[in-house]
Amino acid sequence: MTRRLRLAAPLLLAVAASAAYTDYASARRKLDLIEQDRLRAGAHVELTDSELSAYAQHEAPAGVRNARLEIAPSGLVTGSALVDFNAVRRAQGHPPGWLMSKLLDGERPVSVTARLNSANGQAQVDVQRVTISGLELDGRTLDFLIQNVLLPLYPDAAVDRPFELGHRVERIELHSRRASVVIR
């Protein structure tokens, strides 16, 4: 590695970290405006997928890293991260049993693709596909995991059923690489 490249590497890392922080700060500021009900009726708040990714990365629980969100032109949203399921369980105060600790030890690449439908102050998230360590889960297997793993761990998770958006949010429109939050 040349001397110039050795000197530039820390600078590039600092610039990348600064961009991620700027995206997080921007997303946090926009979400604060929504949560504080400070926006006028008809307002549209645009969140880019880089802002949403930075927010997800910053707010991810212990055991989750490299969180990223991508909004496709079709309106599908894909979230991905490296997840250590045992670390997540321990952080929640539920240490895994011996068998689960052996089966789920270490980080796994996880990807979830879902469709978000929203209108009239309500939304619904329909999970289309989950991939863990390259193994794709869908159909009955996915339904089983949602009912027997996700919901017992996160009983407030609203999957495949409508939920209230709150804070006068009328709907969330998904476009290629961005989400638009529309205020009533």
Q: What is the pLDDT of residues 24-53, one digit of tens each?
A: 999 999 999 999 998 999 999 999 999 999
Which pLDDT does position 166 carry in this prediction? 95
pLDDT for the residue numbered 17: 57
User: Identity (one letter) of the amino acid at 87?
Assistant: A
Q: Which of 25-29, 80-84, 126-130, 146-150 has the lowest mean pLDDT?
A: 146-150
- Tokens read off for 153: 């761990």
CA distance 155 to 162: 14
CB atoms within 10 A of CB 92: 13
Determine the pLDDT at residue 94: 83
The amino acid sitting at 58 is H
pLDDT at residue 11 is higher than 70: no
- Contacts of residue 121, defined as CB under 8 A and 6 or more positions apart, other chains included, come to 164, 165, 166, 168, 169, 170, 171, 184
Residue 133 pLDDT > 90, yes or no? yes
Q: Using an 8 Å Cβ cutoff, are 164 and 59 in contact?
A: no
pLDDT at residue 162 above 70? yes
Give CA–CA dist 82/77, Å, rounded: 17
3-state class (DSSP) for residue 132: strand
Q: What is the pLDDT of residues 83-123, one digit of tens each?
A: 998 898 888 888 888 887 777 789 999 999 999 999 999 99
User: For residues 61 and 120, what is the distance between their CA atoms, to the nearest angstrom?
Assistant: 31
Q: Is the pLDDT of residue 19 over 70?
A: no
Residue ranges per structural domain of the chain: 3-82+109-183
DSSP track, 62-111 = TTEEEEEEEE-TTSEEEEEEEE-HHHHHHHTT----HHHHHHT-S-EEEE
| 10 — pLDDT class (breaks 50, 70, 90) | low
